[in-house]
Chain A
Amino acid sequence: DVKVTQSSRYLVKRTGEKVFLECVQDMDHENMFWYRQDPGLGLRLIYFSYDVKMKEKGDIPEGYSVSREKKERFSLILESASTNQTSMYLCASSLTLAASRDEQYFGPGTRLTVT
């Protein structure tokens, strides 16, 4: 079974802090994704990566950056956390370079609260 793990289930940070959310997948998937999930809005794509050191912006990249130094690990960085970034963050991965075709495998999510 594919396993996608996220470093924390719950996180509380203060406004202005730099925040790192880590995601690891163990099945050699090519693509990795970061979404945020908000009530009534579903999942919105922040960034995705189709290879090491490669990234593409999603629908809502503002205020976020990402890093993929190793194939299995994809980090989401909030350079200066703000209260409007309080949300559930979901990491996902998919198998092949035909990213649009493949189903995604999701981690359990990190609920981030910025106070």
Chain B
Amino acid sequence: AQKVTQAQTEISVVEKEDVTLDCVYETRDTTYYLFWYKQPPSGELVFLIRRNSFDEQNEISGRYSWNFQKSTSSFNFTITASQVVDSAVYFCALSASIGGQNFVFGPGTRLSVLP
């Protein structure tokens, strides 16, 4: 069975602080994909990043960065110099295809960035 854990239910930070959202996953598949999605107050989930299980290179996109570590089954997301517009619910997700298609989302982390 596959599982995604996001232990932080809610996080509040003050604008310009850095914040890391944790994601831990479980899978027995050797080929899998990890995703982060953002759900702003408007409700529509927006794709942020995808990583496959063979690519452990960290990625940076502007103020966003992702740290993928297979050794700890983690795919953490850091926002540097947070802004009020970063306030949203963030979901980590896992998908694999061995034994049938599987798509699993974590419970989400609600991030509030205060001015």
Residues of A within 8 A of B (CB): 33, 35, 40-45, 48, 50, 56, 58-59, 88, 90, 92, 98-101, 103-109
Contact = CB atoms under 8 A, between A and B. Distances in A.
Given A43-B91, A108-B42, A99 B105 contact: no
A44 B44 contact: no
By secondary structure, the B interface counts as: strand
B105 A103 contact: no
Given A42-B91, A43-B91, A100-B97, A108 B44 contact: yes
Tier of interface size on chain B: 20 to 34
A107 B33 CA distance: 22
A76 to B, nearest CB: 16
9 closest A-B pairs (Cβ-Cβ)?
Answer: A100-B95, A43-B105, A103-B47, A106-B45, A100-B97, A42-B107, A42-B105, A108-B44, A109-B43
Given A33-B103, A42-B106, A103-B35, 8 more contacts: A35-B105, A48-B101, A56-B101, A90-B45, A98-B97, A99-B103, A101-B52, A108-B43
A64 B8 CA distance: 31
A12 B35 CA distance: 33
Contacts of A90: 45
B44 A109 contact: yes
B42 A100 contact: no
Given A41-B107, A45-B103, A58-B103, A100 B96 contact: yes
